[in-house]
């Protein structure tokens, strides 16, 4: 099979086409070199019908040749922020030079104690935007305790990893409380009164029910990826948890989308918040998007030929089901690729080990269900491949947000029947 691919056209300014027109049928262009082929695997057509409400044109966003991504000139430097010198040292040690737009706008307001609503694309530095000022807050008030609530285990672990880098030498402690692992070590760490508790709603509620975690002592809360928590059905848990915190509290609310339901949460949870939106579109301009048509050919063979190309050097592949993801990873291993998988049937320890291997380049390919779409912050993912269609466009946005992060370019490909 030829490994040369042509790219499909989009609008003259390189943006995805809007409107209801769909690709397919006679006379339409064949994106990504007209790769025909879609194997008649079980579930393929059924899932395609589930995703049919998504306009396929939204999976295409070609960069115009020679296009320059708009540069951002921050109002502040990290040295300008009124935070502890040790935190500034840690920022520099992590290689951060200038704030991202969300950091530049949010950090000064958080330092002033304002409630925040932050709307930003994934991969734009939201974690640093709240960790940096909150670490300074705790340094100056050791009795202060911070709860960070997130939808997924992976995101909680990612935030804890970021926390460690920013908090080096500050003499404070954190605990990550998530399901899928033994609760007893988490209980012991919570008993040590950590300054930061980072966790998912289910495990937080479990610790509260066991009378281990007393939220009356927490006067600062971060709700990260709030839209995803809403999507995952955590709304009642969120309300129950916040009801146990002091009414006078500092609340930081971050989301990639702003729906009517999210607006209701903002009205219920926050007090006169500063609204910061640095979102420039549903997807980052740094991610080049295209579709791969697999009409009549074996889907796995098409994927194999893509992965065999040298520029596919760190690839995240999304599948629909746990069984399908596990099977695909095993087939890729049999075909000689260094691949691993993470999904809901894997233990949390296994998922974390596999993710670490992928981060450290011991695995070149990671196959995952949507459990991994949020919370994976891996440097240098060259490609995201939607082997199975996402159920919603929001899922698509969060999948492809794993590439093109921190201003780097990435590519996203979606397999289409």
The reported pTM is: 0.66
Identify whether 40 is part of a domain: yes
Q: CATH number of the domain that 302 lies in?
A: 3.40.50.300
160 shares its domain with 267 = yes
62 shares its domain with 180 = no
Domain of 215 in residue numbering reads as: 78-277
Q: State what percent of residues in the chain have pLDDT above 70.
A: 81
312 shares its domain with 167 = no
38 shares its domain with 117 = no
302 shares its domain with 256 = no
242 shares its domain with 209 = yes
Residue-wise burial string across 20-55, b where 16 or more C-beta atoms lie within 10 A, e elsewhere: eeebeeeeeebbbbebebbbeeeebeebeebbeebb
The size of the chain, in residues, is: 417
pLDDT of 234 over the 80 cut: yes
- Predicted pLDDT of residue 29: 34
Identify whether 11 is part of a domain: no
pLDDT in tens, 303-331: 999 999 999 999 999 999 999 999 999 99
- Predicted pLDDT of residue 402: 85
Q: What is the total count of domains within the chain?
A: 2
Last residue of a domain, one of 277, 296, 327: 277
Across the range 233-260, mean pLDDT stands at: 93
225 shares its domain with 321 = no
Identify whether 362 is part of a domain: yes
- Predicted pLDDT of residue 72: 66
- Predicted pLDDT of residue 147: 98
180 shares its domain with 314 = no
125 shares its domain with 157 = yes
- Predicted pLDDT of residue 408: 77
133 shares its domain with 171 = yes
pLDDT in tens, 12-60: 333 333 333 332 333 333 333 333 333 333 333 333 334 445 677 777 7
Identify whether 46 is part of a domain: yes
Q: Residue 8: left (phi > 0), alpha (psi -120 to 50), or beta?
A: beta
- Predicted pLDDT of residue 21: 30
In sequence order, which ranges of 213-347 are alpha helices (DSSP H)?
A: 226-231, 235-243, 260-269, 299-307, 322-334
Angle at alpha carbon of residue 90, lines to 85 and 93, rounded to 5°: 130
Q: Tokens 């006379």 label which residue?
A: 27
pLDDT in tens, 96-128: 889 999 999 999 999 999 999 999 876 778 999
Helices 201-209 and 183-191 cross at an angle (nearest 10°) of 70
- Predicted pLDDT of residue 295: 82
Identify whether 249 is part of a domain: yes
187 shares its domain with 233 = yes
Identify whether 26 is part of a domain: no
Last residue of a domain, one of 211, 243, 277: 277
Choice between 108 and 373, residue whose per-residue pLDDT is larger: 108
Choice between 135 and 407, residue whose per-residue pLDDT is larger: 135
pLDDT of 170 over the 70 cut: yes
324 shares its domain with 409 = yes
Last residue of a domain, one of 248, 277, 306: 277
Q: State what percent of residues in the chain have pLDDT above 90.
A: 56
Identify whether 12 is part of a domain: no
Q: Are strands 339-342 and 365-368 parallel, antiparallel or unpaired?
A: parallel
Identify whether 15 is part of a domain: no
Q: Tokens 């082929």 label which residue?
A: 37
């Amino acid at each position: 099979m030829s490994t040369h691919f042509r790219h499909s056209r989009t609008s003259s300014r390189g943006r995805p086409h809007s409107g209801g027109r769909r690709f397919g049928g006679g006379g339409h262009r064949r994106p990504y070199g007209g790769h025909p082929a879609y194997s008649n695997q079980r579930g393929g057509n059924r899932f395609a019908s589930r995703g049919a409400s998504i306009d396929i044109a939204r999976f295409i966003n070609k960069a115009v040749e020679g296009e320059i991504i708009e540069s951002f000139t921050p109002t502040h430097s990290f040295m300008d922020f009124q935070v502890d010198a040790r935190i500034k040292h840690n920022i520099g040690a992590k290689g951060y030079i200038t704030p991202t737009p969300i950091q530049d706008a949010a950090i000064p307001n958080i330092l002033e104690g304002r409630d925040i609503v932050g709307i930003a694309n994934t991969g734009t530095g939201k974690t640093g935007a709240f960790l940096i000022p909150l670490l300074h807050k705790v340094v100056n008030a050791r009795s202060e305790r911070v709860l960070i609530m997130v939808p997924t285990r992976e995101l909680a672990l990612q935030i804890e990893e970021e926390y460690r880098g920013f908090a080096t030498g500050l003499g404070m402690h954190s605990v990550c409380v998530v399901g899928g692992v033994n609760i007893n070590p988490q209980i012991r760490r919570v008993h040590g009164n950590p300054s930061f508790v980072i966790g998912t709603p289910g495990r937080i509620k479990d610790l509260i029910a066991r009378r281990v975690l007393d939220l009356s002592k927490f006067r600062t809360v971060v709700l990260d990826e709030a839209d995803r928590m809403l999507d995952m059905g955590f709304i009642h848990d969120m309300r129950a948890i916040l009801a146990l915190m002091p009414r006078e509290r500092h609340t930081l609310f971050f989301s990639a989308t702003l729906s009517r339901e999210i607006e209701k949460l903002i009205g219920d949870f926050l007090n006169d918040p500063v609204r910061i939106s640095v979102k420039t579109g549903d997807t980052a301009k740094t991610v080049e998007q295209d579709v791969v048509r697999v009409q009549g050919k074996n889907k796995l063979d098409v994927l194999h030929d893509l992965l065999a190309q040298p520029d596919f050097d760190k690839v995240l592949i999304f599948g629909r089901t746990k069984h399908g993801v596990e099977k695909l990873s095993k087939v890729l291993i049999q075909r000689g690729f260094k691949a691993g998988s993470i999904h809901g049937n894997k233990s949390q320890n296994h998922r974390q080990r596999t993710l670490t291997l992928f981060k450290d380049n011991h695995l070149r390919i990671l196959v995952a269900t949507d459990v991994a779409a949020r919370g994976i912050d891996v440097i240098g993912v060259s490609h995201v491949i939607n082997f199975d269609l996402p159920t919603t466009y929001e899922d698509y946005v969060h999948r492809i947000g794993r590439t093109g992060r921190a201003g780097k370019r990435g590519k996203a490909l979606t397999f289409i029947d």
